Amino acid sequence: MFIKSTEKADTQGSTLILPCVSIGNVPQLAADLLINTLEATRIGIIHTDTLLPISSSTSGFDHSKQQLVPAEIYQSKDSRWTILQQRAPPLPKRQKRWAQELKEFIELAGFHKVVLLTSSDAALRADKLIDNESNIWTLTVNCKSELVGGMQSLALSPSDGQNGVESLHSAGVAKPLLRLCQDMQLPVVVLAALVYEGDNVPDAINLANATNRMLDILPATQQWRAPMSWQWLMAPSNVPAQLF
C-alpha cells in the first residue's frame, strides 16, 4: 500500500523508474545515483509485509533526513521522474506477491511510462548477447513506440515477448512482474545490466548512464553525485574493527 508523506505527491503522468533487487545490487546503486543527482525527495513509502523488515537512520545519506525503510518512493522537483528505491529483498516465497503489489501500485498511480532496471548473471547470458560491448540489453513488454524510439540512442535492439523474459537470470522480481505486465497489457521497458559479483560500482554507473541516455533525464555533461553511504562500499580500510 502506497502511503504518501506529502500532499504534493503527484504520480499521475510521471515516469516510474523501478530497480529490482538483483545480482550485484546494480539497480539499487544506479537508483542511488539518480536520486542523489536529481536531489529527489521522498514522497512516500510502500507499506508491505512481503519484504525483509529493515529500518535504519539516514546517517551517511545526504538526500533525506527520514528513517530508511524497505520500499521508498522518491520524486524529482518537477514530478517528471519517480523512483522506487527498494532497500530489502522479498521474504522467502513472497516474491510473486511482491510482484503483484508492484503491479497494483503501478496501475493505481497512473504512471505514463515504466522503466524497470535489473541485472542479470553475465555467466548465463544468451549467445546472442556475448558480443554486446555495453553489457546492457533491453526488453520490451507491450511497449509504446516512444519508449522503443528512445533505445536508438543506446544503439541497442530490444528483445520482445516471453523469450526475452526467460533470458533474465538472478534478476529478482523482474520475471514475475514482467509476466503480470504481459497479462495486463502494461507497457514496460527493461534495462538489464549483464554483470558478475564483485565491485559493481562501474556497472551501476553504466546502467545509470544508459537510463539517462534513453530517457534524457539529465544533461549529458552532468556528473553523477554518489550518496555519502557509498564511502562504505567494498569494506574500505576505515571500517571500525568492532564490526568484525
Measure the CA angle with vertex 81, ends 162 and 21; round to 5°. Answer: 50
**For 110-126, how does the pLDDT look when each residue is reduced to its tens digit (9 = 90+)?**
998 899 999 888 877 66
* Among 50, 38, 52, CA closest to 103: 50
Please answer whether residues 135 and 204 qualify as being in contact, where contact means their C-beta atoms are separated by less than 8 angstroms: no
Specify the pTM: 0.85
The pLDDT of residue 122 is 81
The cell for 83 is 523512483
The pLDDT of residue 203 is 93
The torsion angles phi and psi of 65, rounded to 5 degrees, stand at -110, 15
Measure the CA angle with vertex 49, ends 142 and 180; round to 5°. Answer: 15
Domain holding 34, by residue range, is 2-243
Instruction: Please enumerate in sequence order all residues whose Cβ is within 8 A of that of 33, keeping only pairs 6 or more positions apart, or say none.
Output: 204, 205, 208, 224, 225, 226
State the total domains in the chain: 1
Q: How far apart are CA 149 and CA 162, in angstroms?
A: 21
pLDDT tier for residue 149 given thresholds of 50, 70 and 90: low
- What is the number of alpha carbons within 13 Å of residue 102 lying toward its C-beta? 35
Four-point Cα dihedral 18, 23, 25, 29, nearest 10: -70
Q: How far apart are CA 147 and CA 200, in angstroms?
A: 27
55: pLDDT strictly greater than 90:
no
The cell for 93 is 516465497
- Mean pLDDT across 170-184: 79
The cell for 76 is 524529482
Residue keyed to cell 529478482: 172
The pLDDT of residue 230 is 83
**For 28-43, how does the pLDDT look when each residue is reduced to its tens digit (9 = 90+)?**
999 999 999 999 999 9
The cell for 218 is 539529465
CATH number of the domain within which 49 lies? 3.40.50.10900
* Among 42, 39, 72, CA closest to 54: 72
The secondary structure element, H or E, covering residue 183 is helix 174-184
